[in-house]
Structure 1
Amino acid sequence: MEKESRYMKLSGLEPLIITPESNFINVGERTNVAGSRKFLRLVKEEKFDEALDIARHQVDGGAQILDVNMDDGLIDGKEAMIKFLNLIAAEPDICRIPIMIDSSKWEIIEAGLQVVQGKSVVNSISLKEGEEKFIWEAKQIKRYGAAVIVMAFDEVGQADTYERRVEISKRSYDVLVNKVNFPPEDIIFDLNIFPVATGMEEHRKNAIDFIEGTRWVRQNLTHASVSGGVSNVSFSFRGNNLVREAMHSVFLYHAIQAGMNMGIVNPTMLEVYDDIPKDLLEHVEDVILDRRDDATERLLEFAETVKGTAKEKVIDESWRENVLQERITHALVKGIETYIVDDVEEARQEVAKPIEVIEGHLMKGMNVVGDLFGSGKMFLPQVVKSARVMKKAVAYLQPFIEADKDAHQRSLGKILMATVKGDVHDIGKNIVSVVLGCNNYEIVDLGVMVPPEKIIETAKKENVDIIGLSGLITPSLDEMVYLAKEMERQDLDIPLLIGGATTSKAHTAVKIDPEYKNAVVHVNDASRAVTVVGDLLNKKTTHDYIAKLKADYDEFRDKFLKRGKTKSYITIQEARENKFSVDWESSVITKPNELGVQTLLQLSLKELLPYIDWTPFFISWDLHGKFPRILEDEVV
């Protein structure tokens, strides 16, 4: 008798059966507070009717599964998940497709499972905290009748090579199928899509390792599926949509051929594979498939041409005629090492102390780099090149600094850097470490997934001057709050730096700062870290800096919390009693000189500006607040 085929069967009001003949399943991600600033704002303001419109737009746009994520440090994720899923259930045009309940917190996942209709998908579980918890969560998911996404993550960390992807996925599959009796067709592996073309050697194979890992899973783990967030692969080129769209299409083309059958993809950020210009296609495939040692450099150069910022391939040395500071800044921004030693030596001759070259000339240049990167005008590989130029400059200055016997060294210090427990992302932390190291600070780097106990123990043992925490995922925010509480409980008295993609001034001021008596500083980017550290460790400035920071955060926190308070309204009867009363008998009504529409052609814009209400303009950019108060709103 022929063996029955086993297919993944999901459902909203309508069934979704995923067979080998099915096309790629697209997961809508805009109902994810981490993926949509607009959705996050609407949830925070409890405008769920408008949030439903985003979900409806996703379904109308072709999403076959709707990902819902409420993980944010400043909202009640459990309550928001329950409310939103209940509202979706009352909208047949939305709830006809299956729901993906997306959270890093089990209580939110379970709350979603208890109210969602149909057969949903849980995103996600992993072996990160051991097999026992993994089995328990899998059994609960099976009891609720849902499918599950399994992250390629174990007790050691995230899978970042082909071998680790194979190892973790095989172990996870064996545990689920043999120990939990989980239906294999309901298992979906997320094998971690990481950025390529970052400028770092260890990231070269991120895409091809995912593709080959996908091929292995589909060939060896019967009935299992593979998913992932495609936009991660092009993170290095944020700001250049033409290149990003091509990277997404090329990656998907090869990943789907290898067996990837579902994923989170923004349809507006995709180019048709066959429509990608041949020269761009060649450069992108070189990067995705790791076909050349110089693939990143070549794509970076090509990206400038398609963005319209590059000139002909002619060596332009005219910048060498600029003044010294402009030459150093140009070298850092463009990543040109050729003349940096000569320029740094010239700068050294002009200052009293060698360290002043770093604090002055070089950091002015790095601040420009930070501004350009923050505004999307520079890409990650370019920032890495800038850091290399900086490192070469500092290496040249190092012997002069060490030979300087002055007490100027008192302004330097030892800084502990760590990515918090549960988070394996380290690109940002590594760049900050390089920049601080280049500025002659001693770095104690504990790596990724560092538990709070180890951070505090090492800080005491090494007698560090500052602790720097990094985190890219939402659970990292809770870890940072916990660490601040522990530092306070154990009576530590050293500044705490907060950085990473999910961090913000709002979360730092509202959630972390109140838990710790010393300075807690949110740092936007690597170049700002040097200025902040300098102010914190300089005995002449530290007291005023911390006092101003605390006052700033107190004011910010007060404004933020006031904005979140529920307004109380008077009754309709009171409102009617307070209505404006007009004495029509004694009032004099002036008749206009001219009635109807008048056309005024000679008015200048300067005369009109005071009468313009800019509120709709700010709303169109998802900025909440009324004009002109919004100009003073630090949250915005």
Structure 2
Amino acid sequence: MTPASRVQRLREVARERILVLDGAMGTMIQAHRLDEADFRGDAFRAHPVPLSGNNDLLSLTRPDVVESIHRAFLEGGADIVETNTFNANAISQTDYQLESAVRDINLAAARLARREADSFTERDPSRPRFVAGILGPTNRTASMSPSVADPGARAVTFDDLARAYREQAVALLDGGADLLMVETVFDTLNAKAALFAIRELLDERAEDVPIMVSGTITDRSGRTLSGQTPEAFWISVSHADLFSVGLNCALGAADLRPHIAELASVADTLISCHPNAGLPNEFGEYDQSADEMASIVAEFAESGLVNIVGGCCGTTPDHIAAIAHAVQTLPPRPLPTLEPYTRLSGIDPLVIRPDTLFVNVGERTNVTGSSRFARLIRDGDYATALEVAREQVAGGAQMIDVNMDEGLLDSAQAMVRYLNLLAAEPDIARVPIVVDSSKWEVIEAGLKCLQGKGVVNSISLKEGEDAFLAQARAVRRYGAAVIVMAFDEEGQADTVDRKVEICSRAYRLLTETVGFPPHDIIFDPNIFAVATGIAEHNDYAQAYLRACRTIKETHPSALVSGGVSNLSFSFRGNNGLREAMHAIFLYHAIHAGMDMGIVNAGALPVYDDVPDEIRTAIEDVLFNRRPDATDRLTALAGTVEGAVQRRTQDLSWRQMPVGERLTHALVEGILDYIEEDAEEARREADHPLDVIEGSLMDGMNVVGDLFGSGRMFLPQVVKSARVMKKAVAYLVPFIEQANAGSGRTRSAAGTVVLATVKGDVHDIGKNIVGVVLQCNNYEVIDLGVMVPAAKVLETARTVNADVIGLSGLITPSLDEMVHVAKEMERQGFDTPLLIGGATTSKVHTAVKIAPGYSGPTIHVADASRGVTVVSSLLNPERREVLTRDVRAEYERARKAHADRTAGTRLLPLTEARRRGLAIDWEAYQPVAPLRPGITVLAPYPIHELTPYIDWSPFFATWELKGRFPAIFDDPTVGEHARLLHADAEKLLAEIVAYGLLTARAVVGLFPANSRGDDIAVYADAERTTVRSTIYHLRQQMDKPPGRPNFCLADFVAPEDTGIADHIGAFAVSTGFQSAELAQRFERDDDDYHAIMAKALADRLAEALAERMHERVRRELWGYATDETLDGSDLIRERYVGIRPAPGYPACPDHTQKQELFELLNATATTGITLSESFAIHPAASVCGWYIANPESFYFGVGNIGRDQVEDFANRKGVPVETAERWLAPNLGYMPADRENRS
């Protein structure tokens, strides 16, 4: 078949049945266990940098491997094979210094795939096979900054991307690709650059090549990494006449379903879906079976959601075969017919329907229309200039018009800078942008900054049809809608006839010559100033209104807009009158068909609120109803007060009865009047306790109901608790005085004893649970941290506790919880036991804790669940049902765990070692540290850490789910997250300004080599004396061929190689004074800020770890001196080397911290200490190792066998029972029950 006939056949097949894509090229390549020599081949044997991991290069150096993978997927039933070119672009290949090989790589890859596809087509012509040329996302983002310090900076430009994508697309097509797929799109601006380049190329070659685009939803928040929803993403790329749009990677099929369903409901093209094989397990591997994945994908097809299916990470030919079989008889999704509405997008969609009210386009971000904004831009005060945009959006603007046309500005540079900064502000970037300029080069510069679908303001016929058509084609290629001014070669249209004539001419040219969709055309028939004193101007308003009606009747799918502020230009300085004129004009213009307008959002009075006399005078001017209309309006101008009142705090609730005021204050978290209202309520009550048990508890019940139903979120609940505590603290002296004679006490719903177990110092989660329980009228006895079992049980018995709750963060705490449960059983308790904390799980509770205690034992995942569980346990009927259900659920969990364990085959340790990672040490030359030995940085400046904070875990602490900053746009929790973040930033500023926390760090870089599975650390550079040995564990799971069993020692050069390698260690803390800071808030009954202080200390500790690792790479060790990574790169660990922490998956032995602290002399140099369970104190502390090998990565050891535990214990010189205790979570067998406790 010819290329054209293949494309025609592809389109026919897509109408007939569901097409099947292939699976994961990377997964299959890994199975071949290729080494550096394979990647180099003969052609690159002398290449100056390592090439291992450059999978795209294998199309040149190991074509047999790539071809065999294509063959395996085609045999499995794939209709479309993807070229091995995910990173085969000049930008990504820069990392390997192979930019010059890009064309060769893509040509070879396309030819390999073409050859295999043709071979299968020849075998069965009724089942043709096709080749998709793959264009990956590159390793840079055009709409996000590489610098934490400068959100407006960019590591790559639209033009850079377009050039790289064009080069790749040319080679793929020359090599025989049938279609092109821009896939794994995490930044839509990158994809738009690719689409721009492809469309430009295809126009030049006059070729019809189908284009697929596949985005990536990065987490369950339902947005791309750059923040867009699926609908906004589709709108942004829909201009490119796509063969299909879809989603791939990041999530498994089950988690991808709601996002695919959303996309299928809004896109009028084919829908593709190629998800991962589930989510990665704790070892970063994909273990969803082929049948399980196929059944999920089949349901997509049964529900009419997809046209093209396949697989991404972790999917093998078996997965593709199962998927192909599952969908072979199912019909493809029929293409929907979408209403011809104008669809625009920022990071959120904006769909303008017939029933959409007037669309406000914010006008104040315009240097020609706002002197304040112009001054800010000229002065370089972009931060305040962003606030102008934020105010416009907050005031109701659904779009923002940005104009930088000012004589003293570099307009294009200012436009780019402002739009790049704006993209980093989700509350602004959610709306579409109108790029406004009279200079085409400025418009084009602005369009290259928009990941969403914006609007160009404007183009016109003033320079003739050729220029108009050229600009219109470019606007279409950039994916924007367009405003067309009523302006032609003869000038601006000022009469009805001229306005309609020019707009109709432009409409014909756009739709018939360019192919512009009518709903992407917005006409501006010119709003001119009225009441100027010039008679010819008196009909300007009427002319616009009449033209509106005619244009909407003639071209109903197009929109009509206008710059409203032009109307009142004669009354500059009288904002009150101008706003009134705008409101009256818009009232009539909207009725005439005006769809949108550039206005000062939030500064328009309501039509009916304009005084009758003023309204009549304005309408006289607008409709030219009387010859003296201008004079009358001018005379009244001085009497018009500002139509827009400054927003004032709404205090109407202060007029409510005192009980309702207390409820309102609790729900809203308002402290200002709580003591005043509590006093008023006390005076009205018979007993001061009645205030607590009456109005205050009524308010807290409302809070509890809102929280339980998901209409209120944890930060608000904690704020409510702060208000409650303040009120109670005020009332306590009065209650004590009143009780002196009556003996009356407050009744609680129940008593809960909470404790962080012995050996553990982490308490943020426990404190949150306590606050939420208190909000629901439970008495909470919080015993704090490091609490021995005896104290927990003694307290529970003394206070007659209804429930006991245990918390812990580190894995040894799990063992302590088992001990507490067994002690409760031994002492005859039947009190319900709740288990919570970061390392706990339902499975561990079911398998290890519950069997040791006959009372109710329940794992509680979060604070909201805690209230429900406690209330059920304290209700006799619900307790019985809950206990029965949980026991049945845990029995199933135990059986499932046992089945999994029995089904997991562990290799003998000798075989696991034989299958260890093989590194070509002859090709590796370690970098010697620039500053060997110990470096102490105590204190460390806190202000330097704030750019390194990863905020996502902070929100997780407060049970707000989502990634930062996309969480701000979440429709459910976004507003609450924004408020929480603002409070955190305020407290963080105080911490920095007043030194409320102290940061300390110590780093050590030491000579080292591996000895088997251990790492020997030498006393000095002579390497004759071993100072310390770090004992590591090796994976023992039986993996598929070609997948090594890793151990951290694999990444350090073996002693017998003679290579002088090194290892690093670090210990950092920002927790000094955090307890005191939290206690200061607690003394003021302010749990909200107490919890926040500890949460910020934790985030700062991780930020300090991140900062120190960066300094080690660039300054102290110096193996990556020219590294340039932004904050998101650091958070996503895109640097060379790793910093594994003892107690975490790669090195799960917590006792290793002892060797680490001794190497660093950490306690003496920083004051950081270890508990008996090896918890680090202060709690906001981190320690770990540095490994510099570029082949190193994070992994999980997983389950290990008895032979490795015995070998490990022998190497360390400890009893096997001791090793089993510390490695309990990793044991792949059931040891004898040997409790060894003090």
TM-score where L is the length of structure 2: 0.24
More helix by share: 1
Q: Higher Cα Rg: structure 1 or 2?
A: 2
